[in-house]
Each structure stands twice: as C-alpha cells, then as structure tokens.
C-alpha cells in the first residue's frame, strides 16, 4: 500500500481538486489518502469531511509544511509515502512511474516534473516543465529551472511532489520541523544521501502546479523562512572548512538585498524591485542569524551525531551540477 498525503491550509477548494486527481491514479485502489488540515477550523473540517475516501488529520495550529507533513507521515500505513502540495493536480501515471524507480533499493526519494498552471480548468499543457535542477555549492541556494528530459540522480526534489520509502522517512524522523517551510525538502534529501540513499528525478512523474497559492498570503514570512532556512541548510550540510564563511556571506547578501531593494543587492540594480514584505523578511532572517550562531552550531552537531551529515556534500553538488546542461 502507498499512503498519499495532501497538506491543506485555508485552501479546501484546491485540496478537493488535488484529492480528486489522486483518485484517478492508475493504482489508486492500492492507496490510502490523508489530508492534513493545518490550523484546522470548524469550517475547514466541514469542507474536508465531504471528501470521499479520505482520512483527515486536523491540527489545531499551523505547523507549516514540515510539521504538517510529519503529522501525515505519523498517521500513514503504507510502505511508500507520497507528499503533495494541495495547489496541484497529479498525472494519472505519477505513482506507477515513481514505484518503478523505487524498485531500485538504492533510491530512497523520487519526484517529477511540475508544469505551471493557473489553477483553473483541466491542465493539459506539457510545456515549460520545471524541477530543482541544481543547488549552488558555494551559497546553498536552489535553482528551479527547465526540467531535464531524462531520469537522473539529483541533489533534491521539490517538496510539492515527493514519493519516498516510509522506512526511510521514519529513520529520518520526517522533515526537520525547525524549517517550518522552505528548504525542508532539500534538507530531507541531503540527510537521506548521508544515510546512503539516492534521490532521483523522473520526468514521467507529472504534476500541474499553481505555485505559491498558500505562501502568497504570507509574503513576509515566506521571505524570512526562505532566507533563514538557506543558512540553516548551509550550517547542517556544508563542510567544516566552509560552512561558517558561507553562512556569513549569504547573510550579508540577504542584508544587501533588503537595504538596496533588488535581488543581488548592488549587483542586481536594474532588476525587478523587491516588495516591502520581501525586504523586511530578508532583514528579519539576517537578524535571526546574528542572534542564533550558537543554535546553528548545535544544529550542525546534532545532524552529525545522527549520522545525517556528509562532509562531501558540496563536492557532490559540484559533480551533479556538472551533469546539468
């Protein structure tokens, strides 16, 4: 059996549409579907109660993507676990293709192509497919770009559509809840790699994604978590010789963005200006970093002690990036 988990936060209509697409999967009769309802209310519970063949996991507070998905994983019974944003619909062959990849015992996590979608009508376009194509080995940022045409080992899978071994997720204790949202998927894949599992991108696993439906409501928080968690990821996974310097440089870059008002700081002058919320979120992340140096060191030590850190992480990123055209 496979457990399919959808995360809901103030988006019951989108969740209903995502669940309907899961019922159309080629192996849907061998699945259980769980909907995690972050910051559950009587209204959201009533709306979700009408979804047929679904187990709802209500949470009194909003635990973000990481904590919400962890609640779903804790209630899952399948040998494999699929994880989905609610603002997408899933192609009917997604699960079958993913399970085929996981027949290789070396693979722990697999995910596929996401096609841009406006959230309306029946998604049909297969143009403009996107994936996390690379991760920068010097600054730790991820690049969402044109999806490769072939299956390949990658540094990470975008958390919007992930299929993983349940046994692996249990060994990792799921996502790191300290991330709340953003980069928790990259961290999961990095820790899986340290345990000896590969992460694979498969273009045949297709979803149509209206990106940012939930995060559009919290622009400042999104900017904060994204900038802050980039630095957390560096602290947890970069080599001992470079993580402190890289963390400091990234913090300075985010501060420059906030002060100048452009992505890339002074070097990005002439690009689209950042909004007030984006600038404040970045500045908040820099302040947080300056106040939590000891926490970052402790986080790194805990990751190493758990056997979920690989000193060769940055070199692996360079090798993988060398294979991306």
CATH number of the structural domain spanning residue 50: 3.90.550.10
Looking at the structure, do residues 208 and 238 belong to the same domain, yes or no? no
Looking at the structure, do residues 162 and 229 belong to the same domain, yes or no? no
Cβ(178)–Cβ(299) below 8 Å: yes
Looking at the structure, do residues 68 and 142 belong to the same domain, yes or no? yes
Alpha carbon separation from 277 to 2, 29, 217, 227, 252 (Å, rounded): 40, 44, 11, 13, 18
How many other CB atoms are there within 10 angstroms of residue 106's CB atom?
10
Name residues whose C-beta falls within 8 Å of residue 242's C-beta, 6 or more positions apart in sequence.
314
Rounded Cα–Cα distance for residues 188 and 196 (Å) = 13
Q: Is residue 320 part of a domain?
A: no
Looking at the structure, do residues 138 and 47 belong to the same domain, yes or no? yes
Residue range(s) defining the domain that contains residue 289: 218-309
What global pTM score does this model have? 0.95
Rounded Cα–Cα distance for residues 144 and 124 (Å) = 21
Domain final residue pick, 181, 215, 249: 215
Cβ(21)–Cβ(117) below 8 Å: no
Q: What are phi and psi of 103, to 5 degrees?
A: -65, -25
Q: Is residue 322 part of a domain?
A: no
Q: Where are the beta strands (DSSP E) in 43-138?
A: 54-58, 80-85, 88-90, 107-116, 130-135
Looking at the structure, do residues 171 and 264 belong to the same domain, yes or no? no
- What's the pLDDT at 214? 54
Domain final residue pick, 198, 215, 232: 215
- What's the pLDDT at 126? 85
> Which residue shows structure tokens 């635990």?
63
Helix axes 42-49, 12-23, angle to 10 degrees: 20
Rounded Cα–Cα distance for residues 197 and 40 (Å) = 35
Provide the number of structural domains found in the chain: 2
Looking at the structure, do residues 248 and 198 belong to the same domain, yes or no? no
Q: Is residue 316 part of a domain?
A: no
- What's the pLDDT at 215? 54
pLDDT in tens, the chain (325 residues): 999 999 999 999 999 999 999 999 999 999 999 999 999 999 999 999 999 999 999 999 999 999 999 999 999 999 999 999 999 999 999 999 999 999 999 999 999 999 999 877 778 778 899 999 899 999 999 999 999 999 999 999 999 999 999 999 999 999 999 999 999 999 999 999 999 999 999 999 999 999 765 555 689 999 999 999 999 999 999 999 999 999 999 999 999 999 999 887 555 554 688 999 999 999 999 999 999 999 999 999 999 999 999 999 999 999 999 876 4
Looking at the structure, do residues 292 and 156 belong to the same domain, yes or no? no
Looking at the structure, do residues 43 and 150 belong to the same domain, yes or no? yes
Domain final residue pick, 215, 239, 273: 215
Handedness of CA 146, 25, 109, 5 (dihedral sign): positive
- What's the pLDDT at 325? 43
Cβ(175)–Cβ(66) below 8 Å: yes
Looking at the structure, do residues 204 and 59 belong to the same domain, yes or no? yes
Q: Is residue 319 part of a domain?
A: no
Looking at the structure, do residues 165 and 262 belong to the same domain, yes or no? no
Looking at the structure, do residues 189 and 57 belong to the same domain, yes or no? yes
Q: Is residue 314 part of a domain?
A: no
């Amino acid at each position: 059996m496979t457990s399919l988990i959808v995360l809901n936060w103030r988006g019951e209509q989108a969740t209903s549409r995502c669940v309907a697409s899961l019922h159309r999967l080629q192996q849907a009769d061998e699945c259980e579907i769980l909907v995690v309802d972050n910051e559950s209310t009587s209204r959201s519970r009533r709306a979700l109660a009408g979804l047929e063949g679904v187990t709802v996991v209500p949470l009194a507070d909003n635990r973000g993507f990481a904590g919400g998905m962890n609640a779903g994983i804790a209630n899952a019974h399948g040998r494999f676990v699929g994880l989905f944003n609610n603002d997408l619909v899933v192609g009917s062959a997604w699960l079958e293709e993913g399970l085929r990849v996981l027949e290789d015992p070396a693979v722990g996590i697999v995910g596929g192509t996401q096609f841009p979608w406006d959230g309306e009508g029946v998604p049909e376009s297969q143009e403009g497919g996107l994936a996390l194509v690379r991760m920068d080995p010097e600054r730790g940022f991820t690049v969402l770009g044109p999806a490769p045409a072939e299956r390949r080992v990658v540094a990470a899978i975008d958390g919007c559509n992930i299929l993983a071994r349940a046994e692996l997720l249990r060994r990792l204790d799921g996502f790191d809840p300290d991330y709340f949202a953003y980069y928790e998927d990259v961290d999961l894949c990095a820790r899986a790699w340290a345990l000896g599992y590969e992460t694979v991108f498969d273009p045949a696993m297709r979803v149509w994604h209206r990106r940012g439906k939930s995060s559009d409501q919290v622009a400042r928080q999104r900017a904060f978590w994204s900038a802050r968690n980039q630095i957390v990821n560096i602290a947890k996974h970069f080599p001992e010789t470079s993580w402190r310097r890289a963390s400091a440089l990234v913090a300075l870059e985010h501060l420059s963005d906030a002060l100048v008002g452009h992505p890339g700081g002074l070097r990005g002058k002439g690009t689209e200006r950042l909004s007030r919320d984006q600038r404040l979120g970045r500045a908040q992340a820099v302040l947080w970093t300056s106040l939590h140096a000891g926490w970052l060191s402790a986080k790194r030590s805990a990751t190493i002690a758990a056997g979920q850190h690989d000193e060769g992480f940055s070199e692996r990123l360079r090798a993988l990036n060398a294979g991306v055209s």
